[in-house]
Structure 1
Amino acid sequence: MSDMNAILAPGMLVSHPDHPAWGVGQVQSNIGGKITVNFQEEGKVVIDGARVTLLPVFDP
C-alpha cells in the first residue's frame, strides 16, 4: 500500500486515477490495504491499495 493510501480513513473523499468517470468517492473502510470506496457514478468498489494510489479530493 502506498503512503498516500495509508492515510485514507472513513469519510475522506477520493478519486480513482484510472477511472475519472466514477466521480468522487467516499472511503468506507481501509483494512489491510483493501480500501472500500462508494463512488458517485460506480457505487461501492473494493480497491487493492498495493495496485492503485487513490487521489484525495479536498474540494469536491
Structure 2
Amino acid sequence: MDLNSVLEPGMLVRHPGQPDWGVGQVQSNIAGRVTVNFPDQGKVVIDGNRVMLMLVSVDPS
C-alpha cells in the first residue's frame, strides 16, 4: 500500500532523506503532491511518487 496516498491534513510525518527537518505536519495531499510544514524547513511540497514520507505516531497520553 502507498502510505502517501492515505496522508491527510494534520497528520505528522518525517522526510526519510532529511531527518534534520524534524517532524512536519501535512497541510494537503493533492494528486500525489504532499505539502508539509516542517518546523526547521518551513512549507515543502513533496512529490509522493519520488519520496515515501514516514508517518509519525503520536502518544495518546
TM above 0.5, yes or no, is yes
- Which TM class, normalised by the smaller chain length? over 0.9
**Which consecutive unaligned segments of at least 5 residues does structure 1 have?**
none
Query: Considering only CA atoms, is the larger Rg found in Structure 1 or Structure 2?
Result: 2
- Structure 1 residue 52 and structure 2 residue 54: aligned? no
**Which consecutive unaligned segments of at least 5 residues does structure 2 have?**
none
Say which SS state the counterpart of residue 49 (structure 2) adopts: coil
Q: How many equivalent pairs are there?
A: 59
Aligned to 2:30: 31
Moved beyond 3 Å, runs of 4+:
none
Supply the RMSD in Å over aligned alpha carbons. Answer: 1.3
